[in-house]
Amino acid sequence: MSSTLQEIADCVIAGRFDEIKPLVESALSNGVDPQAIIDAGLRSGMQVVGQKFKANELFIPEVLIAARAMKAGTEAIKRHVVTDYTDSLGTVVIGTVKGDLHDIGKNLVAMMLEGAGFQVIDLGTDASPEAFVEAARENDAEIVAMSALLTTTMPKMAETVHALSSADLDRPVRTMVGGAPVSQGFATEIGADAYAPEAASAVEAARSLVAGLSRPRGDGPPCCPQRASARRLRQDSEKGRGR
């Protein structure tokens, strides 16, 4: 890793939020790729924080200070990745699900989606299934994207997918899930239309979802085989319960 990226990672680890902005700005003006700053600088620093937190070497106050540094670094990059598009690729409602206050990853995904030309409505953290449904309705959204970092809040994703499919919305809404404990298998199980492990692939997934939306809804577009497979899972479990 270059020494600048290592310095950015170190700022996150040590929570030096006042130093991170000038560092990121100088890296950008020296031509360092914003994606490399995010991956090898900011995220890599937060990964170390995560390991230290798990090993009880760092505690919540230090993690919060690291999160503040990460946020300052992300803000400094934002204007380099967010472009003003006249034609939006579509509207994405994004939020961290009910009971979960982690927003660093969600903010990165929101920023990358905005940068790619999506209109992003950010519900913040602790967003209830009803809040996702209402925001999707009010904004005529194509995609609802959910983030969860706690295994205990992952079930809220399933509830939100269910609430969206039961709501009488004017247009089909696709769902996308992510966050450290979330996997493709979990996305399939709950009937979400897409999963992505990080922000750049979230943009690719969102593009495929809106491309799929121009097709008739039917059994789900080709980009969303999970929907059919989730339906099968539900049917199997209903049969198993004798319904």
C-beta of 46 vs 123, nearer to ligand B12: 46
C-beta of 2 vs 35, nearer to ligand B12: 35
Name the minimum Å distance from CB 192 to ligand B12.
Answer: 9
C-beta of 54 vs 239, nearer to ligand B12: 54
Euclidean distance between CA atoms 17 and 75, whole angstroms: 11
Name the minimum Å distance from CB 10 to ligand B12.
Answer: 16
For the chain, the three-class secondary structure string (H helix, E strand, C coil) is: CCHHHHHHHHHHHHCCHHHHHHHHHHHHHCCCCHHHHHHHHHHHHHHHHHHHHHCCCCCHHHHHHHHHHHHHHHHHHHHHHCCCCCCCCCEEEEEEECCCCCCHHHHHHHHHHHHHCCEEEECCCCECHHHHHHHHHHHCCCEEEEECCCCCCHHHHHHHHHHHHHCCCCCCCEEEEECCCCCHHHHHHHCCCEECCCHHHHHHHHHHHHHHHCCCCCCCCCCCHHHHHHHHHHHHHHHHCCC
User: Residue 172 is which amino acid?
Assistant: P
Name the minimum Å distance from CB 71 to ligand B12.
Answer: 7
Name the minimum Å distance from CB 108 to ligand B12.
Answer: 4
Name the minimum Å distance from CB 236 to ligand B12.
Answer: 27
C-beta of 32 vs 70, nearer to ligand B12: 70
Question: Residue 79, Cβ neighbours under 10 Å: how many?
Answer: 10
Name the minimum Å distance from CB 167 to ligand B12.
Answer: 19
Name the minimum Å distance from CB 242 to ligand B12.
Answer: 34
C-beta of 180 vs 211, nearer to ligand B12: 180
User: Residue 69 is which amino acid?
Assistant: A
Euclidean distance between CA atoms 242 and 86, whole angstroms: 53
C-beta of 44 vs 242, nearer to ligand B12: 44
C-beta of 60 vs 222, nearer to ligand B12: 60
**Residue ranges that bind ligand B12, judged by CB under 6 A:** 43, 46, 49-50, 53-54, 60, 63-64, 67, 99-106, 108-109, 145-147, 149-151, 176-181, 196, 198-199, 202
